[in-house]
Amino acid sequence: MATEDVTLENTGVVEGKSIDISPYVGKMTKIEAVTEHKGEFGYFIKVVSDVLGKEGDIELRASALFNLTTDKDDESKIGWTEKSKLTPLLKRMKVEHYNDLVGKELQVTKATDKNGMEWLTF
């Protein structure tokens, strides 16, 4: 993706647009994709739902991130532990591996961070 240098004037704190996510909480949705990533703090997966709705040009989806870890004895093996947040989801959905989540249906919930920011999750 190409970028260009710009000089912005009149920058500062602004009020962003907000989207009411409450109509989507409690709805059933299917998992559309599970993608694997490596970030600054290690490996993780992102689980993303089908599109729940649109607000302007923004597609609303539920999503969740789950950390992965390396095996204590063999760092070439990457996975999750029995105590990870991924394990209860796999058990609830009756699958053995996170790739098997694609196509499964589950209920949308909402999460809120310490600053009051809300997002759709499972």
Report the DSSP beta bridge partners of residue 47: 34, 64
pTM value? 0.84
| Residue 15 binned pLDDT confidence (cut-offs 50, 70, 90) | confident
pLDDT per residue over 31-69, tens digit each?
Answer: 999 999 999 999 999 999 999 999 888 999 999 999 999
- Asked which of 3-7, 84-88, 110-114 is least confident by mean pLDDT, the reply is 3-7
d(CA 75, CA 88): 24
Q: Are strands 109-112 and 118-121 parallel, antiparallel or unpaired?
A: antiparallel
pLDDT at 3 (0 to 100): 84
d(CA 61, CA 19): 12
